[in-house]
Structures are given as structure tokens and as C-alpha cells.
Amino acid sequence: MPRYHSTDGLSLHYTDDGNGLPVIALAGLTRNGADFDHVAPHLPLRLIRPDYRGRGQSDWADPATYNVAQEAADVLTLMDHLNLDRAAILGTSRGGLIAMLLAATARERLTGVALNDIGPEIAPAGLEVIKSYLGRNPPQKTYAEAAEARAKLWTQFDGVPMSRWLAEVRAHYQQTPDGLTIRYDPKLRDAVLNSGAQPMPDLWPLFDALDGLPLALIRGANSDLLTPETADEMARRRPGIIRADVPGRGHVPFLDEPAALAALSQWLEKLQ
């Protein structure tokens, strides 16, 4: 398995598949490179998928380092490891925040950014949902039970086959004799809750730093994290943005929906 070392000595996992235009796919807060399993077959490019520190197959670390700034620094270290001067970022949720920070601090390393259901304002309702499960193993004991629970409870998603829910839970949980366990450091919860004790910084300057880069915004039409009002303001500030609101999807779209694929195709044309 390909690995690289962070500046503080962690062994971090990534995958590197395909050829051509390099795109670094950055996953959601608790997730890993498997976030992009569904869209990867549709992307004719070089797709690089890191697991953040403390997630997936990467080493766990001091929870104080589970923050966007450190994770952005780890992305730059990975780019250096791969001898990549520049790359595009496809960022889902947390990954989009990292992409915006990189635009503000290392813009010369980016060729473009696609944001999946994330913006510079995070709706409190969606954040509370994330906090409710963050760092906790699910109550279900098997993949089948967890998939059935998602199909029943995730009402903001329409028309998702059980096979997809099974693929999702297999990617993000480990089935053990004692039940399902999360594939990340449970202390990520402490890091997020501790950061929440501080006022939320103004992230609009980070979004504005994307000006001039090919930019796409994909939003779940039923998202509880990225509101229509925030998405509209993003489009107002960046009139050339490629935007898709994916019907029947909450936080986050799988990215292989027709609307999402159409937006990504347009974005890739601009990158070329």
C-alpha cells in the first residue's frame, strides 16, 4: 500500500490510480479515500486519494492535530512526495474546507477546485447531526443491519439501492465479532468539539481566494449542511462557477449521479 510520511513523522496512506490530469480527492470529516469509489470509474484522470491522519489506513495522531490547517499541510507534503507541482482538488465536505484553505495559503499549487456539498457557511442543523455520531460506533452489529438502518433513517436520500448502502457501510465501518467499529480515531470527536468552543471564523475570505481557478459546486438538493442561500451567494461571488443541485440527495452526494457527473465533466474541460 502506498504511504508517505508527514512532517511530524506519521505514516499516512493514499492511493494513486490512473493517468493524466492529477486530481487529489479529499474526503469528508470521518471518512477516507473510499468516499470516491462510486465516482472514480467515471473520471478519466489520475486520481489521488489520501486518508487523513487518524482516518482509514493512516496512523492515528495527537487529536490536537486533527484540524484543517494540519490536514492541508499533509496534502502539500503528499504533493511533494509525488513530485507534483500543481494539482486540482475534489473536496467533499471537510475536503472542501481544506481546498479553500489551500487556495488562500498555497494557491500556486492548485489548478482548480470542485466542492462537494460544502461552502464557507456551515448550517448548524447539519453540524449537529455530524456531532451526534462523531467518534461513536454504530449500534448495529452487522453491515446488513447498518445498511438497512441507513436506508430507513437517511430520508433526505431518494432511490438509493441497498447495494449502495452496503458499499457505504463496508467502506466506513469494520465488522468485528463484537459489532461494527468506526474506521477512524474516536478522539476525532474531542478535536471537533474542542474547536467548536471557539467562535466560527469567517470562511468567506477562503472562498474568495478561489477566484480565477476553475470552480465547481455540487450540492445535495436536500442538504442540511450547505443551504441554498449559501450556495446562491457562492454563485453570486463567482459568476463562472459550475453548479449542480443533485435531486434526491442530502449531505453528501455520491458524485456518480447524472447531475454531479455533468458538473464534473464541465469542470474537467476547464481544467484541461
User: Tens digit of pLDDT for each residue in 205-218?
Assistant: 999 999 999 999 99
* Residue 1 predicted with pLDDT over 60: yes
The grid coordinates of residue 43 equal 473520471
Average pLDDT over residues 72-96: 98
254 Cβ contact list (under 8 Å, min separation 6): 38, 39, 164, 260
What does the alpha-carbon distance between residue 168 and residue 85 come to, in Å, rounded to a whole number? 33
Range from 40-49, 58-67, 188-197, 245-254 carrying the lowest mean pLDDT: 188-197
190-208 confidence digits (pLDDT tens):
999 987 656 678 999 999 9
Class of residue 19 by CB neighbours under 10 A (exposed 0-12, middle 13-18, buried 19+): exposed
pTM beyond 0.85: the answer is yes
The grid coordinates of residue 188 equal 476525532
Average pLDDT over residues 98-117: 98
- Please report, rounded to a whole number, the percentage of residues in the chain having pLDDT higher than 90: 96
* Residue 240 predicted with pLDDT over 80: yes
* Residue 100 predicted with pLDDT over 70: yes
Average pLDDT over residues 214-243: 97
Q: pLDDT averaged over the chain?
A: 96
Per-residue confidence (pLDDT) for residue 196, from 0 to 100: 63
Q: Is 241 helix (H, G, I), strand (E, B) or coil?
A: coil
Closest by CA position to 62, among listed 190, 235, 254: 190
What does the alpha-carbon distance between residue 173 and residue 221 come to, in Å, rounded to a whole number? 26
Closest by CA position to 172, among listed 3, 31, 9, 16: 31
Closest by CA position to 150, among listed 122, 119, 171, 178: 171
Q: Please list the residue range(s) of the chain that carry CATH number 3.40.50.1820.
A: 3-135+201-271
Per-residue confidence (pLDDT) for residue 254, from 0 to 100: 98
What does the alpha-carbon distance between residue 118 and residue 149 come to, in Å, rounded to a whole number? 25
Per-residue confidence (pLDDT) for residue 197, from 0 to 100: 53
What does the alpha-carbon distance between residue 190 and residue 198 come to, in Å, rounded to a whole number? 13
3-135+201-271: what fold?
Rossmann fold (3.40.50)
Ordered DSSP codes for 135-203: T---S-SSHHHHHHHHHHH-TT--S--HHHHHHHHHHHEEEETTEEEESB-TTHHHHHHHHTTSPPP--
Per-residue confidence (pLDDT) for residue 153, from 0 to 100: 94
Per-residue confidence (pLDDT) for residue 194, from 0 to 100: 87
The Cβ of residue 42 has, within 10 Å, a number of other Cβ atoms equal to: 12
118-132 confidence digits (pLDDT tens):
999 999 999 999 999
* Residue 149 predicted with pLDDT over 70: yes
Contact 45, 20 (CB under 8 A): yes
Q: What share of the chain is helix, strand, coil (3-state, %, to 5)?
A: 40, 20, 40
180 Cβ contact list (under 8 Å, min separation 6): 137, 138, 140, 141, 142, 143, 146, 169, 173, 174
Give residue 166's identity as a one-letter amino acid code.
Answer: L
